[in-house]
Amino acid sequence: MSYPDIIFNNLLIVALGGAFLTYLLGKVSQNVRNGFAIFISSVLVLMVAGLHGYGKELVYARFFDHPLILRINNLSWLFAITITVLSTMSIIFSLSYMKDKTRLGLYYMMMLLVSTSMLGIVMSGDLISFYVFWEIMSWSIFVLVSYNKGPALAAGLKYIIISLAGSLCMLVGILSIYGNFGTFDISQIAGFIASAPRGYIVFILIMFCIAFGIKNGLMPLHVWVPSAYTESPSPFTALLSGMLAKMGTFGFLMIFYIMLGSRIFLYLGQGRLSFHYILCLLAGITIVIPNFIAVFQDDAKKLLAWSSIGQCGYIILGIAFGTSLGLAGGIFHFFNHAIFKALLFLAVGAVEFRTGGVRDLNSLGGLANKMPVTFIATLVGACGLIGIPLTNGFVSKWLIYKTLILNGSPFLAFAALIGTWGSLLAIYKLLHNMFLGQLSEKHKNIKSAPFSMRLPMVILCAVTIIFGILPGLGLNIINSIGISLGFESLGVNLWGIASETGTLNTINIFAAIIVLVFIVYIIFRTGGKSVLVSQDNSYAAGAYVPADKYHYTVDFYNPFYTMVKPWLKDRIDQFYVWIGKISEKLAEFVRRMYTGDLGNYVIYIMLFLAVLICVQLIWRPW
Amino acid sequence: MGVAGFILSPVIGFVIGIFFMGLFRIIMARIHWRYGPPLYQPVIDIIKLFLQKSVSHGVIFELGLLLSLAGSVVTLLFIPIGNICPLNISGGLLVVLYLMLLAPIGIALSGGSGSNPNISIGISRKMLLALSYEVPFLLIVLTLMFYYRTISLVNLVHFQRASSWGIVSLPLAGIAYFLILPAMLGIRPFDMVEAPQEISSGLKVEYSGKFLALYYIEHAFRRFIVIALFVNLFLGGAGEPFTFLLKMVIVFVLGVFINAVFPRFRIEQAIRFNWTWPTILALAGLIITYIWGGYG
């Protein structure tokens, strides 16, 4: 057996065993447990890294007659490496963030269990393993979301109810597939499904898409996202937004391009009424509306949560659009979003940690000089989110825009481009209200974030910028994924994409910006001298500037808000609440039937039999 | 053009941008029946400011401004000025759209750390104004890219020179672009971002000395870029720089005339205006193009 074989065979055992061992070690010593959690997650990173370019299938158990399969290919590898890296980052971040909290053994075990279940999902080769790991993940998320109790419990309940509805839909789909084809093996199903009727395929797709759409926060299935992201502990939010929601993306990729294949998926229905185009439209809506709702949020994490929903729209748009550029853009944006959104959540977590849990954007300000590393992290993350050139977000968005324009969907391209302005307004508000402007008196003595928080932020910053300047690092793998899924190859090199209509060359842009900043700096230095003054020493047109916080942050976009306020009603959430109320009433009605009187039950049975007899007499179904 | 373009392009942008500032003041003065300052007054101002002592609010305050100036010049390298376009093969119009964000973000960062309430109000207005004109602007740009089926700015100019100008092939988009041009240039009726009488010039209130000089230079570049983009997208660009600059001067003078006769909008009015007529025209243009299909 070669090394990759050994690694592959033992990967999940190490992950699962590590999770439980972490819990047990917590009974011995806190420090040993924390050290071990970091150790085991780093080991997982190394193990997954060792599997680069490796492909294999492994039957690890049997469920009655059906083999349970683990397999790895380039797509699984890309997801697996992102999972392990991000989970290591958030566990390192947790060291100081969670220091004063209770039930830490449970927390670290669940963090590791979540990444184990994600590894399981991306490596399952059959639908049973997929579903089992999916459920482990869903329930672990519930435990971690409601970790803080109080409002977090409500958020967790909302999440788990919606998530269960999705899981049930998926279960219906899986059982229906089994009933028709008699197998759970994904590659076998791919062979059978080509001859299935189109209507049946659409039914299966809708069932799976509900489950994956809920995890991914696709509109109108996104309602659990804002509260769950806001209330969960920040290091976990980074993982939740960065990776866990992206399991929906993996699911989409699996069912569209592995189980169905692009030949079937892209030709379900006709023209604008085809399945993939309708999904693109939903993705377009998911880009525009949440990105603009984010603009009006005052809670830092809620702002990022809405923005996450919006960014997932780009990913699904790219994947569902179904061109090789779009697929590459979608997958690359998944990776990039995982990195920069985790970075942003960690940065907000660091501010939350140092200010004693303040997330309200109206009461912060001027922290840039006090927490420089956190500020730079937020800035880099923000640039990635907006898609400023030289950050990774730009490259993936460029790919998606380009394919939308050249393949004749200018309206979807408009949705994607204007969504960027929503995220620009929202993220600038976050940046300005937290780090710029005047520092308030009570934050005068704030210290910089501790090392265990700065380290993950710096690493993620570096990844954001490196993949922006040398996108080929990621695009090479993504290109090979595209080829293995039956798409044509892109002309990828280390610093961009070459093609006949419009080439992207990030090295040129990088060099130009560096040289020009240098030249401008030289010119700047030759000018007259400048004196550094304090924040209170500013020009207020003759008016007196109070010493504390005299600063325009509350209602930052007020003129815009008053304009659009009449249209801002969360009808989707109201709709789900309405469904909840209806089912509650129904349950109440059903409960009343159980009177506890034996006579009533006998009458029910008699009535039921009478109905059955009538049915038999009239239609004779049996 | 090769390497020479890398030097020529910023130099032309700088000289013409400053020239526009002087021209702006002269034309405004003549419309007001004043004599006005000499054409080279902005040069004197900038040199004077550059040598003066100034006040700084810290590292971000300085770096943000440098970033915004560098961002503007980089954007310029992607825009063809006649046949001068040093970075024409590096990503096309989509890259220009995103590079154009560097300058406002740099200014916003720099201003934001200036910790002056007037700046924050100015930034908030700037962001909203940008959002309001970006809606029609993106529709217009998409109409062009969809019509000619290319994302390369150089190709757009080539196609227009081979057939007819963009404003003839796509009149609705062209008119819509002209309507939002004052907002993109930040001149009246859309100068609420810098309204001197309300928020003491907003964004630039904390700039003094060399900071103000750099801000003016950045401003000159930004005006040049917006007008150059209009000439490239709708007036067929040009084969050599001279014709190109002539077209730019005409567009700019028309813009100054608009500036001279309109009072200032409030920000809500600006948003409402940009989201009605220019957006309706641009959307109609895009729908028509979408139905009739593209060029060639």
At residue B2, the pLDDT reads 65
B209·A424 Cβ contact <8 A: no
At residue B290, the pLDDT reads 84
B53·A530 Cβ contact <8 A: yes
Selection from A215, A148, A235, A296 nearest residue A456 by Cα: A235
Per-residue pLDDT tens over the stretch B28-73: 888 888 888 888 888 998 888 888 888 888 788 888 888 888 888 8
Listed in sequence order, the DSSP H helices in A217-299 are: 224-231, 234-239, 247-253, 262-265, 275-295
Flag whether residue A376 sits within 8 Å of chain B, measured between CB atoms: no
Query: With contacts defined as CB-CB under 8 Å, which chain B residues touch A443?
Result: none
B109·A559 Cβ contact <8 A: no
Task: Return the SS3 of A445.
Answer: coil
Query: With contacts defined as CB-CB under 8 Å, which chain A residues touch B66?
Result: 517, 520-521, 524
Distance from CA of A352 to the nearest CA of B (A): 21
Confidence of residue A503 (pLDDT cuts 50, 70, 90): low
Give the residue on A whose Cα is nearest the Cα of B47. A527
Worst-scoring range by mean pLDDT, A28-42, A239-253, A329-343, B111-125? B111-125
Gap between the Cα atoms of A467 and A425, Å rounded: 24
At residue B90, the pLDDT reads 57
**Mean pLDDT confidence for B160-179:** 84
B54·A529 Cβ contact <8 A: yes
Give the residue on A whose Cα is nearest the Cα of B61. A436
At residue B294, the pLDDT reads 64
B94·A502 Cβ contact <8 A: yes
Judging by DSSP bridges, how do beta strands A491-493 and A496-498 pair with one another?
antiparallel
Residue B1 has pLDDT above 60, yes or no: no
Confidence of residue B115 (pLDDT cuts 50, 70, 90): confident
Query: With contacts defined as CB-CB under 8 Å, which chain A residues touch B146?
Result: 405, 408, 410
B209·A530 Cβ contact <8 A: yes
Helices (H) and strands (E) in chain A, counts: 24, 6
Distance from CA of B33 to the nearest CA of A (A): 30
At residue A299, the pLDDT reads 86
Residue B214 has a CB neighbour count (10 Å cut-off) of 24
The conformation of residue A500, written as its DSSP 8-state character, comes to S
Cβ–Cβ < 8 Å for A300, A351: yes
Distance from CA of B222 to the nearest CA of A (A): 16
Query: With contacts defined as CB-CB under 8 Å, which chain B residues touch A402?
Result: 94, 151
Confidence of residue B295 (pLDDT cuts 50, 70, 90): low
Query: With contacts defined as CB-CB under 8 Å, which chain A residues touch B115?
Result: 366, 436-439, 535, 538, 551
Q: Which residues contact A399 (CB under 8 A, 6 or more apart)?
A: A318, A325, A326, A328, A329, A332, A497
Helices A275-295/A410-435 angle, 10° precision: 30
Query: With contacts defined as CB-CB under 8 Å, which chain B residues touch A517?
Result: 66-67, 70
Selection from A576, A434, A481 nearest residue B113 by Cα: A434
**Mean pLDDT confidence for B120-125:** 84
**Mean pLDDT confidence for A308-317:** 90
A559·B267 Cβ contact <8 A: yes
Give the residue on A whose Cα is nearest the Cα of B71. A513
Give the residue on A whose Cα is nearest the Cα of B78. A509
Gap between the Cα atoms of A253 and A400, Å rounded: 16
Percent of chain A with pLDDT strictly greater than 70 = 95
Query: With contacts defined as CB-CB under 8 Å, which chain B residues touch A553?
Result: 120
Flag whether residue A271 sits within 8 Å of chain B, measured between CB atoms: no
At residue A502, the pLDDT reads 58
Domains of chain B by residue range? 4-292
Tokens of A615: 């049915």
Query: With contacts defined as CB-CB under 8 Å, which chain B residues touch A421?
Result: 130-131, 134
Per-residue pLDDT tens over the stretch A357-387: 788 888 887 788 888 888 889 999 998 888 8
At residue A2, the pLDDT reads 75
At residue B89, the pLDDT reads 64
Ramachandran area for residue A494 (φ above 0: left; ψ -120 to 50: alpha; else beta): alpha
At residue A549, the pLDDT reads 61
Residue A24 has pLDDT above 80, yes or no: yes
Residue A501 has pLDDT above 60, yes or no: no
Flag whether residue A510 sits within 8 Å of chain B, measured between CB atoms: no
Query: With contacts defined as CB-CB under 8 Å, which chain B residues touch A418?
Result: 134-135, 138
CA Rg value for chain B: 19
CA Rg value for chain A: 26
Distance from CA of B108 to the nearest CA of A (A): 9
Residue A125 has pLDDT above 70, yes or no: yes
Prior bond of A235 cis (ω within 30°): no
**Mean pLDDT confidence for A598-617:** 84
Query: With contacts defined as CB-CB under 8 Å, which chain A residues touch B290?
Result: 410-411
B112·A411 Cβ contact <8 A: no
Q: Which residues contact A597 (CB under 8 A, 6 or more apart)?
A: none
Confidence of residue A622 (pLDDT cuts 50, 70, 90): low
**Mean pLDDT confidence for A309-323:** 88
At residue A547, the pLDDT reads 64
Give me chain A's average pLDDT, please. 83
Does the complex come out with an ipTM higher than 0.90? Answer: no
At residue B88, the pLDDT reads 67
- The top-scoring range by mean pLDDT among A178-182, A519-523, A598-602, B247-251 is B247-251
Percent helix, strand, coil in chain B (nearest 5)? 75, 0, 25
Flag whether residue A181 sits within 8 Å of chain B, measured between CB atoms: no
More confident of the two residues A530 and B250: B250
B50·A528 Cβ contact <8 A: yes
B200·A539 Cβ contact <8 A: yes
Gap between the Cα atoms of A572 and B154, Å rounded: 45
Confidence of residue B251 (pLDDT cuts 50, 70, 90): confident
Selection from B209, B173, B167 nearest residue B49 by Cα: B209
Query: With contacts defined as CB-CB under 8 Å, which chain A residues touch B128?
Result: 425, 557, 559-560
Residue B296 has pLDDT above 70, yes or no: no
Beta bridge partners of A71: A57
B124·A552 Cβ contact <8 A: yes
Residue B91 has pLDDT above 70, yes or no: no
Flag whether residue A417 sits within 8 Å of chain B, measured between CB atoms: yes
Residue A231 has pLDDT above 80, yes or no: yes
At residue A541, the pLDDT reads 65
